[in-house]
Amino acid sequence: MSFASFYQQSIDDPDTFWANEARRIDWHAPFTKTLDYTRPPFARWFIGGETNLCHNAVDRHLAQRADQAALIAVSTETNTEKTYTFRELHREVSAMAAIMLSLGVKRGDRVLIYMPMIAEAVFAMLACARIGAVHSVVFGGFASNSLATRIDDAQPTLIVSADAGSRGGRVVAYKGLLDEAIRLAQHKPAHVLLTDRGLAEMPRTAGRDVDYTGLRAQYLDTEVPVTWLESNEPSYILYTSGTTGKPKGVQRDVGGYAVALAASMPYVFCGNPGETYFCTSDIGWVVGHSYIVYGPLMAGMATILYEGLPVLAGDKPDGGIWWSLVEKYKVTRMFSSPTAIRVLKKQPAECMTRHDLSSLKSLYLAGEPLDETTSKWISEALGVPVIDNYWQTESGWPILSVAKGVDDKPTRLGSPGVPLYGYKMHIMNESTGALCGANEKGVVVIEGPLPPGCMQTVYRDDERFVNTYWSNFKTQVYSTFDWGIRDEDGYYFILGRTDDVINVAGHRLGTREIEESISSHANVSEVAVVGVEDKLKGQVAIAFVIPKRADAVATAEARQALEAEIMRVVDKQIGAVGRPSRVHFISLLPKTRSGKLLRRSIQAICEGRDPGDLTTIEDPNSLEQIKAALQT
């Protein structure tokens, strides 16, 4: 079957299409209706069906592949590697589930996971799924303020954490950050479950903090039955930056997500049971949820969980560590980001050529636009197809790509591909709402209902879900907030964000959140943060600050000192991931006469582009200040 006819089936008759795909997973009770879209834009999939993500990822494989590798945990930070078979993974997840139950976690309770890339983090995610708890994984580098906002929104019964993570040999102590976050939060969790890696001091709070190692020994052989959940019960909350300072809790269901991932593994990623999948993301991001943990395991594949950098420094530098893992574990499908590949491109060729990469069948890249130079280099170096794909935290699985598991539709340089099955997509004129023609720039939108696996709503805020995503045009369509064009053959090209969210090495950051952090510094009067194109990371944040006291930036030394102070504030409140690459000091920000900040004009100047129509600007000298600041 051609992809065109396959795709059209999913659009013309989604009920039949997705009912067929739902056979890929185990159902404890069959669904009575495939789709309920009586309350747009809220789509409910597989009504009445009962299933469980942990069962589909672990238990159902025990009969045929219990002794096959399931989870391969590798840390170049601690020089450890451990492989868990499906039988061993089942045992560890059951123990973690028993611990959670003993600490009072019930079906529907939230469990916040603030962990490094270690096996216990995966055990915790799967254990939550097993007992019907809702997990919320927070990237293990977020600072206390950001963590506190997520604690208050999710209101977890339990927080699962560790003494520390490590990156590039630099230990990041988590416990102090977590204790401060709990102090700042209005909501106080009943318990904190702690894994001690021996990397940092980990003082305990009596009555609240409990040790994982001791409880694991106590519950290691406890059988914990699967809790069967109705398809539309929530599985997890994952927070993503928004255009306001308050992060959005993307809420995902159980059944729709399971079916979407189960279908994506053969259609998009061409993964087969018994093979090894290596996704280089982090479980704190959606890619890690879908394609480190749930997707590969559901497909009966071994999945590599990697803690470390793509290029090792120190006593034993190694620019080929990822390729050594491909060789050692016979990886067939690898998923990474353009930023990571650009980093590897700088390494000597022999870092790649000294390894046997014959097992690798394809490389998938996502997180930011893939440039032609990077795509050509890695494709030629590996001798395998490089397949771009585009999606969001909100979608949970790819929106645009080429489904090589359906037919051999060619890729196109610069394009992530065509709309995948289930996504009815358009390019829409921002001002008029009219559909754009071929090669006409507009906003990438999706008609409802969104297919299975996409977000259900914003956690505890249906109104925000509708207002944020579905109210940007006269007709009710989902806005991706990305500019794009579609060529004559239907391939889409993504051109950047329409809102104030930037994409740094695949990590979405709200400029408003960074601005609020910088504004908390005592000597900051006003601030504007913009995302600027960067050859390595895709985008970086650059801040322009008006100080309260001019004398604070009177000398080069003073400017450097204040910039360093502001960086430390952002580090403390958001984490290093939110730190701007530069802070420039000016006395005037470009605004319209009505007081609107001209962020797009600032961004254009930073990127050496035409700042556009400036007839509404209040003071043209402000743009000259931006230009002058960039020269310092």
Q: Which of 168, 164, 38, 99 is nearest to 449 (CA)?
A: 38
Helix or strand run (H / E) with residue 306: strand 302-307
Within 10 A of 12 (CB to CB), how many other CB atoms are there?
9
Question: 266 in the Ramachandran plot: left (φ > 0), alpha (ψ -120 to 50) or beta?
Answer: alpha
Q: Do the bridges between strand 362-365 and strand 386-388 make them parallel or antiparallel, or are there none, so unpaired?
A: parallel
Q: Return the pLDDT at 188.
A: 98
Across the strands, what pairs with 530?
Answer: 542
Q: Return the pLDDT at 141.
A: 72
Q: Return the pLDDT at 599.
A: 79
Is-cis flag, bond preceding 348, omega within 30?
A: no
Start-to-end Cα distance in the chain: 59
Q: Dig out the tokens for 239 from the structure.
A: 């927070």
Q: Which of 405, 552, 455 is nearest to 252 (CA)?
A: 455
Instruction: Over range 188-206, report the average pLDDT.
Output: 96
What residue spans of 398-495 are helical by DSSP H? 462-469
Q: Which of 194, 506, 235, 233 is nearest to 370 (CA)?
A: 506
Q: Return the pLDDT at 469.
A: 96
Instruction: Over range 425-431, report the average pLDDT.
Output: 94
From residue 564, alpha-carbon distances to 128, 420, 567, 606 in Å are: 41, 45, 5, 21
What is the pLDDT confidence band of residue 324, given thresholds at 50, 70 and 90? very high
Q: Would you say residue 503 has pLDDT above 80?
A: no
Task: Write the pLDDT tens digit of every residue in 153-190.
Answer: 999 999 999 999 998 889 999 999 999 999 999 999 99
Residues shown for the chain: 632
Q: Return the pLDDT at 342.
A: 83
What is the pLDDT confidence band of residue 593, given thresholds at 50, 70 and 90? low
Query: In this predicted structure, which of 133-147, 148-162, 299-313 has the lowest mean pLDDT?
Result: 133-147
Give percent of the chain with pLDDT exceeding 90. 72
Is-cis flag, bond preceding 317, omega within 30?
A: no
Across the strands, what pairs with 164?
Answer: 173
Chain centroid to CA 323: 23
Task: Write the pLDDT tens digit of every residue in 43-82.
Answer: 999 999 999 999 999 999 999 999 999 999 999 999 999 9
Q: How far apart are CA 542 and CA 556, in angstroms?
A: 18
What is the pLDDT confidence band of residue 480, given thresholds at 50, 70 and 90? very high
**Burial tier of 327 (Cβ tally within 10 Å: 0-12, 13-18, 19+):** middle
Instruction: Over range 556-565, report the average pLDDT.
Output: 92
Helix or strand run (H / E) with residue 174: helix 174-184
What is the pLDDT confidence band of residue 596, given thresholds at 50, 70 and 90? low
Q: Return the pLDDT at 244.
A: 55
Q: How far apart are CA 357 and CA 328, in angstroms?
A: 9
Helix or strand run (H / E) with residue 514: helix 511-519
Q: Which of 481, 469, 406, 477 is nearest to 443 (CA)?
A: 481
**Burial tier of 217 (Cβ tally within 10 Å: 0-12, 13-18, 19+):** exposed
Q: How far apart are CA 286 and CA 393, in angstroms?
A: 5
Q: Looking at residue 8, what DSSP letter applies?
A: H
Query: In this predicted structure, which of 275-289, 407-421, 456-470, 531-545 has the lowest mean pLDDT?
Result: 531-545
Q: How far apart are CA 178 and CA 163, in angstroms?
A: 10
Q: Return the pLDDT at 136.
A: 98
Helix or strand run (H / E) with residue 401: strand 400-401
Within 10 A of 450 (CB to CB), how many other CB atoms are there?
25
Instruction: Over range 233-262, report the average pLDDT.
Output: 89
What is the pLDDT confidence band of residue 370, given thresholds at 50, 70 and 90? confident
Check: CB of residue 234 under 8 Å from CB of residue 134.
Answer: yes
pTM for this structure? 0.85
Helix or strand run (H / E) with residue 563: helix 556-573
DSSP secondary structure letters along 98-121: HHHHHTT--TT-EEEEE--SSHHH
Q: What is the mean pLDDT of the chain?
A: 92
Instruction: Over range 562-566, report the average pLDDT.
Output: 94
Instruction: Over range 280-292, report the average pLDDT.
Output: 95
From residue 394, alpha-carbon distances to 290, 456, 478, 598 in Å are: 12, 9, 11, 28
Q: Dig out the tokens for 305 from the structure.
A: 């969980």
What is the pLDDT confidence band of residue 613, given thresholds at 50, 70 and 90? low
| 402 vs 528, more confident | 402
Q: Would you say residue 500 has pLDDT above 80?
A: no
Q: Return the pLDDT at 378.
A: 93
What is the pLDDT confidence band of residue 240, given thresholds at 50, 70 and 90? confident
Check: CB of residue 91 under 8 Å from CB of residue 55.
Answer: no
Q: Return the pLDDT at 242.
A: 60
Domain ranges of the chain: 424-497, 501-630
Instruction: Over range 525-537, report the average pLDDT.
Output: 85
From residue 575, alpha-carbon distances to 143, 165, 172, 285 in Å are: 5, 14, 11, 15
Q: Which of 166, 159, 199 is nearest to 180 (CA)?
A: 159
What is the pLDDT confidence band of residue 592, given thresholds at 50, 70 and 90? low
Task: Write the pLDDT tens digit of every residue in 88-128.
Answer: 999 999 999 999 999 999 999 999 999 999 999 999 999 99
Does the domain formed by 424-497 have CATH 3.40.50.300? no
Name the CATH code of domain 501-630 (choices 3.90.245.10, 3.30.300.30, 1.10.357.10, 3.50.50.60). Answer: 3.30.300.30
Instruction: Over range 370-391, report the average pLDDT.
Output: 90
Query: In this predicted structure, which of 76-80, 409-413, 592-596 has the lowest mean pLDDT?
Result: 592-596
Q: How far apart are CA 229 and CA 131, in angstroms?
A: 9
